[in-house]
Amino acid sequence: MEELQAFFDAYQTTIGFIGINAILALSVWLTLYTGQLTLGNAAFMGIAAYGSALLTLKAGFPFPLALLCGALLAAAISLPLGATVFRLRGVYLAIATLAFGEVVRVAILAIPITGRGQGLVGIPPKTELWHIFASLLVITYVCARLRISSVGRAWSAIREDEVAAASQGIPVRRYKLAAFVLGALIAGWAGGIAAHFNFAIQPDEYGFARAVQILVFAIVGGIPNVIGPIMGAVVLTALPAVLQPLQEYRDILQGAILVIVIVYAPRGLATLLDVRRAARLRHVGAQDVA
């Protein structure tokens, strides 16, 4: 029991960020599930992180209210943005949302109240581990229910063929926008939680590298179901701690793992069991034919 407590104390921060990254992975999963590649979730995370932190630091808002306001601010900003950028597709959509992220980062650097390049420090440490994992549990449940609902079926149809989905009466732009706004809301909630878990935030935490990292969580884990993004976040967040003795080669090993997953499990880690089952069935079928 004492060893378990010592392990928990040593890796408490890592455990917390595993949960936060899992929430972020689910936020980008929503748009990927509709077949849309967006890179704006880090920006929404930053908007909510600064918004909620300023509300607790400067205005004395209660922690839950500050979290809610930060997440709603991110969702409100995503609404007109999504209505504009979803006129684009593919790589152009990704570039547009990435450009939005850079605009947000530069704006944070330019506004005095955000602390500019120094960031915000002294944020009240309100976030506890149970806040993180209770949020993850609720968000996972909501996403899983959405996936099997009529909304989820519409998202799946849009992912497979937008023209065919529109011909069946599905309002494509409305459903894509709904996924984008909901993803921004979830990313904003994660940003507020992270800001009050970290005690300090800086603009560079919400730039291009963070946007790509969130996307990689979902891709490595897989998007066929909600478990995939969580698996990707767990593996890629815990990996640096596991590879601490090989710190000099950590980035190389992470890149190698990403390549291996893409080559041997292109649909993500969550589909490994399906791949193994399919291989076993092919083997059994070959034996029957022989």
Q: Domain segments of the chain: what residues?
A: 2-289
Mean pLDDT computed over every residue of the chain: 86
The whole-number pLDDT of residue 19 equals 94
| Cα separation values, 276 from 48, 193, 230, 261, 283, Å | 41, 38, 20, 14, 11
First to last CA, the chain: 55
pTM flag (> 0.75): yes
The whole-number pLDDT of residue 103 equals 92
User: Is the per-residue pLDDT at 11 higher than 80?
Assistant: no
Token look-up 């002294």 returns: 122
| Cα separation values, 200 from 21, 54, 114, 118, 178, Å | 17, 11, 11, 10, 31
The whole-number pLDDT of residue 287 equals 54
Which sign, positive or negative, has the C-alpha torsion 173, 178, 184, 186?
Answer: negative
User: For 93-107, 152-166, 253-267, 273-287, which range has the lowest pLDDT when averaged over its residues?
Assistant: 273-287
User: For 55-69, 208-222, 237-251, 266-280, which range has the lowest pLDDT when averaged over its residues?
Assistant: 266-280
Phi then psi dihedrals of residue 121, to 5 deg: -125, 160
- Do the beta carbons of residue 193 and residue 209 sit within 8 Å? no
Q: CA 136, CA 223: separation in Å to the nearest integer?
A: 17
pLDDT band at 53 (very low <50, low <70, confident <90, very high): very high
User: Is the per-residue pLDDT at 216 higher than 70?
Assistant: yes
pLDDT, tens digit (0-9, with 9 covering 90-100), for 163-215: 888 888 889 899 999 999 999 999 999 999 999 998 889 988 898 888 988 98
User: Is the per-residue pLDDT at 5 higher than 70?
Assistant: no
User: Is the per-residue pLDDT at 261 higher than 60?
Assistant: yes
The CATH code that applies to domain 2-289 is: 1.10.3470
pLDDT band at 275 (very low <50, low <70, confident <90, very high): low
